[in-house]
Structure 1
Amino acid sequence: MRDFSTPGRSAAFASNGMCATSHPLAAKVAVQMLEAGGNAVDAAIAGAVLLGICEPQMTGIGGDCFVLLTPLGEDRVIALNGSGRAPAGLDAAVLREQGHKTVPLRGPEAVTIPGAVDAFCTLSKDYGKLGLRASLAPAIHYAEAGVPVAPRVAFDWDQLQGDLQGTARDRYLLDGKAPVAGQLFSAPQQAEVLRRIAMNGRDGFYDGEVAEDMVASLNAMGGTHTLEDFAAASCDYTDPISGGYGGLDLYEHPPNGQGATAILILNILKHFDLAAMDPMGAARAHIEAEATKLAYDTRNRVIADPDHTARLAHMLAHETAEKLAALIDPRRALPAGLPGAEAVHKDTVYITVVDKDRMSVSLIYSIFHGFGSGLASDKFGILFQNRGAGFTLEDGHPNEAKGGKRPMHTIIPGLLCRDGRPYMPFGVMGGAYQPTGHARFISNMRDYGMDMQAAMDAPRCFADAGELRMESTYADSVRQELSDMGHVVVTPPGPMGGSQAIAIHDSGVLEGASDPRKDGIALGY
């Protein structure tokens, strides 16, 4: 139980349905969808699409999504990969010849075909109850009427406004400046796009005038995208992967998602007595940092388009984790020089919904970097993701950039099962941090007995790009001890990610938690 005399927030409890996400309006809309007779899929789509208006720096219909869900009356977990592919004309060899070492972050070369809209249409048709028109109606309304900009969104917007280019500056700046908290932001052109999707399904986006606008805009910027690339966009149902920790089974997406990295981190951590360590101390942070370095190095060698990687079983094997754990010195940081990932960043939204019938949805939705590529289509102002920056230009690598491939993806929804039954859909935002965030969230609960909200509130650190990034809430003595171990300790300029979760208790009561690092809430009825 938290100390009620100090700042903090309580978990939310409800007996019918619940949503937890990163913006209050999206949580409210999702719960209203449940109250109107919709199910978890209807509500999750409604909330997620609205997040693209409430948090345009994080996500939008020009991006991708991944989904885990449990169907009505079933305990099995289904995975839907809503990530888009590179246009057929993308070729790493050409980029290498042009002198590029990595895919340009803010150029059309990084723009992959948006996959989220096809995934939303497929989910609604296969598992929804009220239909796509009902799910998109709230986002259409708010895109036209406007939403007041929330404080964390305003913070991000101010930091990222310099990355907007051309039409994107006109659409996403107000009088040439980032909006401040409380200022209204609207996107009437996106309302029109959503209206066409509501009427015509995926064809309203991937065909006709909307697709023509996206292709013409990208071609004018030097992109190789074609109408055929957009028409071919298709999501895929896949079999989730899983691993156990502390009596819970963690379900993740297989490649091209990086979910296997979270499972590998937990498998490494099993070889250490974390419960005997101070949860906010140097020893725990050190072991987690070293496990992260080794697991991410493995990720960078293995995770790619599923048609181009064959070493997933090796990554998930307990023998692999045991050998990696043996490389960790409890008193000294591993030397610098482990291969770094391609471009990664922190901009993602997450939403989870559980309905009265206990169907659960865990959905993560992103345009990758802040405001994606920083590019938008001319007529409708659709922000393009830069997910292609997740490719490598290394010749022969499984994740080498090539037309028709899906890049390695950082966004990963999670779902925990207990005794074979769905227990907790959850997600941790934060780009590359997400696998470490999944592992820390679970470890906080299982090794240290924290409740969901406390597990989210606790300080975070992340070993990335040769640094150990520690939130400001860590004690100076802990920072010094880690520095003495050889870590390059830095404080990031802002909070590290965000998270949401809903627990389905045996009593039938739902418990929701939402990270204070974001503007959102957990809301039930």
Structure 2
Amino acid sequence: MNIMPQSRKGMVAAPHYLASQTGAFILQSGGNAIDAAVAISAVLGVVYPHMTGVGGDSFFLIHDSKTGTVNAYNGSGRSGMRATASFYTKQGFETIPQRGPLAAVTVPGMVDAWEAVWKKYGRLAWEQVMLPAIRYAEEGFPASPSLARWTVRDLEWLRQDTYLRETFLRDGQPLSEGELVVQPRLAEVLRGVSAEGRSYFYEGAFSRRMGAATERDGSPLTADDFAAHRGEWVEPVSTSYRGHDVYQLPPNTQGFSLLMMLNMLEHTDVSAIARFSPEFYHLMAETVKKAFRDRDRYLTDPAFRDIPLDRLLSKAYASELWHELQSSPQAAEHLSAMMGQDTAYAAVTDDEGNAVSFIQSLYFDFGSAYVPDGCGVILQNRGSFFSLDDRKPNVLEPRKRTFHTLMPGMVLKNGRPYLLLGTQGGEGQPQTQLSILTGVIDYGMNVQQAIALPRWLYGRTWGDVSDTLKIEHRSYEDISSRLEAYGHTVEAVRDYDALMGEAQGILIADDGTFSGAADPRSDGLAIGI
């Protein structure tokens, strides 16, 4: 298990050690948690390019120490004006392609989000916040174990794109851990953002060049779509759980599904159930299914379809679901949608009481595996999750945000930040957060112990033809047959398998001490200052 650092001045937890180091440096340089978060986010887009980058989306939950409020920024992009179901069906597609230019359906929202949260809360100069990412892109960094592994897994896709082949392969072969990765074109983009802010990425000559390239290559995105993009401040959604206030981003994210799960679990004493028992995993899987049923029924861009959040998050509705869950001892049938899982989550706190929980992604590993010519930006394929079926709530329509898996979490206790948490892993994000939350609140664990717990994962990712209940091997041997008797299809995965998510967390004790934790399944590090 990783060492759990503790500090009274500030804490950083990120899935890559260079990003964590950057956050600590920014805090030590006089920046606040928001400055550090933006710097970490930018560095992750350089050193964790298989999970995130400037061509992707991000979401921020921020506790403002001056007002005592929790504010949220939705940094997800909308589909292009030309992006319609018929755009694809007329070309013979039954679904949106997962890779290539046609998978690049939505505008990247991350650069806009950086500037928005920094302008509202940041203290250091913008150029100072951007500088670490520029340096890592320009001077290079050693390939982490995770990056090296993903160049092996994605070799076919990396070879098909000139930029990806030249940047992340060596003579057409995967990277070795520790090999230097240099990204001069990305450094140029970051320098432009540093000098001109978001306008460089969305409204200037660079964005026009990028939009022309995407249009030429067949993507529905154009320069006009980049120019039209604006993220937005939104009201977070929350629920209470055993005396704690749990916050998430509202739709278009799946964050509300976790809140539904917590509302159901309040009807039982979770701590009375042995954490490694078949009864525990069965209860969690069935609770997840109830929430996912409504998530899949309603979740999309709320500007396009009414989502009855008041009802879904009510304690009365949770009581209905709980009684429905209890009415049958067997596993319910629910076939979840296949979705990507490649994401980067990080958290920062400072000694002023500010706290930032944020998450970002390209959706799939290396996103669309497509880089517009000469731009150095890997575009996300988040929009490939849109449906082409107009009977589905998440049907593709122009200027629409898709169903989003990204969901940073924040827990307040007595009105003050208590726990920041989040993870990589599409379907697994609410489930891993549920594991951590119950570990801390119900089982009394510290944040590192809760993150290191054996995990379950109900659902499927791309390539899976059926839902399974995946369980890390440490708790598998003695319980698989009993879970199968409940009706689950059980699958064992390795201990500390990255498939089960890469979580980070910060817990703040009543006396103000920060405890930070990075997932042993990741390349991450928690650093206290």
Shorter chain as normaliser: what TM range? over 0.9
Q: Helix, strand or coil: the match of 1:490? A: strand
Q: Is the 8 A contact 1:65 1:366 kept in 2?
A: yes
The answer on 1:90 being equivalent to 2:83 is yes
Q: Helix, strand or coil: the match of 1:272? A: coil
TM-score between the two structures when normalised by the length of structure 1 = 0.94
Gaps of 5+ in 1: 1-7
Q: Is the 8 A contact 1:125 1:131 kept in 2?
A: no
Q: Map of 1:227-376 to 2, 5 A cutoff?
A: 227-310=223-306, 311-328=308-325, 331-335=329-333, 338-341=334-337, 343-376=338-371
Measured in 2, the distance between the counterparts of 1:501 and 1:322 equals: 30
**Backbone CA RMSD of aligned residues:** 1.7
Q: Map of 1:379-398 to 2, 5 A cutoff?
A: 379-398=374-393
Q: Once the 2 structures are TM-superposed, how far is the Cα of residue 31 of structure 1 from its aligned partner?
A: 0.8
Measured in 2, the distance between the counterparts of 1:366 and 1:96 equals: 27
**Which digits, 9 at most, give the CA deviation of each residue in 1:28-76, with x for residues without a partner?**
1111111111111111111111111111000000000000001242321
Residue of 209, 215, 221 corresponding to 2:217 = 221
Q: Helix, strand or coil: the match of 1:328? A: helix
The corresponding residue for 1:41 is: 34
Q: Helix, strand or coil: the match of 2:362? A: strand
The corresponding residue for 2:189 is: 193
Relative to structure 1, the CA distance from residue 236 to residue 132 in structure 2 (aligned partners, 3 Å threshold; closer, same or farther) is same
**Which digits, 9 at most, give the CA deviation of each residue in 1:147-167, with x for residues without a partner?**
111223322332223233323
Q: Once the 2 structures are TM-superposed, how far is the Cα of residue 129 of structure 1 from its aligned partner?
A: 0.7
Q: Helix, strand or coil: the match of 1:266? A: helix
Q: Once the 2 structures are TM-superposed, how far is the Cα of residue 327 of structure 1 from its aligned partner?
A: 2.9
Q: Once the 2 structures are TM-superposed, how far is the Cα of residue 440 of structure 1 from its aligned partner?
A: 1.6
Q: Once the 2 structures are TM-superposed, how far is the Cα of residue 492 of structure 1 from its aligned partner?
A: 4.5
Q: Map of 1:453-472 to 2, 5 A cutoff?
A: 453-465=448-460, 466-472=467-473
Residue of 427, 433, 446 corresponding to 1:451 = 446
Q: 1:468 corresponds to which letter in structure 2?
A: L
Q: 2:389 corresponds to which letter in structure 1?
A: E
Measured in 2, the distance between the counterparts of 1:213 and 1:471 equals: 46
Q: 1:241 corresponds to which letter in structure 2?
A: V
Residue of 111, 118, 121 corresponding to 1:117 = 111
The corresponding residue for 1:404 is: 399
Bigger Cα displacement from structure 2, 91-100 vs 305-314: 91-100
The corresponding residue for 2:46 is: 53
Measured in 1, the distance between the counterparts of 2:332 and 2:94 equals: 26
Q: Once the 2 structures are TM-superposed, how far is the Cα of residue 322 of structure 1 from its aligned partner?
A: 2.2
Measured in 2, the distance between the counterparts of 1:345 and 1:492 equals: 18
Q: Is the 8 A contact 1:20 1:522 kept in 2?
A: yes
Measured in 1, the distance between the counterparts of 2:459 and 2:94 equals: 20
Residue of 407, 412, 425 corresponding to 2:420 = 425
Q: Is the 8 A contact 1:268 1:324 kept in 2?
A: yes
Measured in 2, the distance between the counterparts of 1:132 and 1:247 equals: 39
Residue of 167, 170, 173 corresponding to 1:171 = 167
The corresponding residue for 1:4 is: none
Measured in 2, the distance between the counterparts of 1:314 and 1:102 equals: 32
Q: Is the 8 A contact 1:367 1:387 kept in 2?
A: yes
Q: Is the 8 A contact 1:268 1:291 kept in 2?
A: yes
**Which digits, 9 at most, give the CA deviation of each residue in 1:301-354, with x for residues without a partner?**
11111212322222212232222222335642113xx3532x412211111111
Q: Is the 8 A contact 2:273 2:279 kept in 1?
A: yes
Identity of aligned residues (%): 37
The corresponding residue for 2:514 is: 510
TM-score between the two structures when normalised by the length of structure 2 = 0.94
Q: Is the 8 A contact 1:171 1:381 kept in 2?
A: no
Relative to structure 1, the CA distance from residue 157 to residue 471 in structure 2 (aligned partners, 3 Å threshold; closer, same or farther) is farther
**Runs of 4 or more off by more than 4 Å in structure 1?**
none
Measured in 2, the distance between the counterparts of 1:116 and 1:122 equals: 10
Q: Once the 2 structures are TM-superposed, how far is the Cα of residue 288 of structure 1 from its aligned partner?
A: 0.6
Measured in 1, the distance between the counterparts of 2:263 and 2:126 equals: 40
Q: Map of 1:1-20 to 2, 5 A cutoff?
A: 8-20=1-13
Q: 1:73 corresponds to which letter in structure 2?
A: K
Measured in 2, the distance between the counterparts of 1:277 and 1:504 equals: 26
Q: Once the 2 structures are TM-superposed, how far is the Cα of residue 93 of structure 1 from its aligned partner?
A: 3.4
Measured in 1, the distance between the counterparts of 2:213 and 2:454 equals: 43
The answer on 1:161 being equivalent to 2:163 is no
Bigger Cα displacement from structure 2, 505-514 vs 20-29: 505-514
Measured in 1, the distance between the counterparts of 2:420 and 2:27 equals: 17
**Which digits, 9 at most, give the CA deviation of each residue in 1:213-245, with x for residues without a partner?**
322332232112111100111110000000111
Q: Helix, strand or coil: the match of 2:427? A: helix
Relative to structure 1, the CA distance from residue 29 to residue 104 in structure 2 (aligned partners, 3 Å threshold; closer, same or farther) is same
Measured in 1, the distance between the counterparts of 2:103 and 2:92 equals: 15
Gaps of 5+ in 2: 461-466
Q: Is the 8 A contact 1:109 1:388 kept in 2?
A: no
Residue of 29, 47, 51 corresponding to 2:22 = 29
The corresponding residue for 2:464 is: none
The corresponding residue for 1:133 is: 127
Q: 1:128 corresponds to which letter in structure 2?
A: G
Measured in 1, the distance between the counterparts of 2:48 and 2:260 equals: 31
Relative to structure 1, the CA distance from residue 96 to residue 340 in structure 2 (aligned partners, 3 Å threshold; closer, same or farther) is farther
Q: Helix, strand or coil: the match of 1:203? A: helix
Q: 1:47 corresponds to which letter in structure 2?
A: I
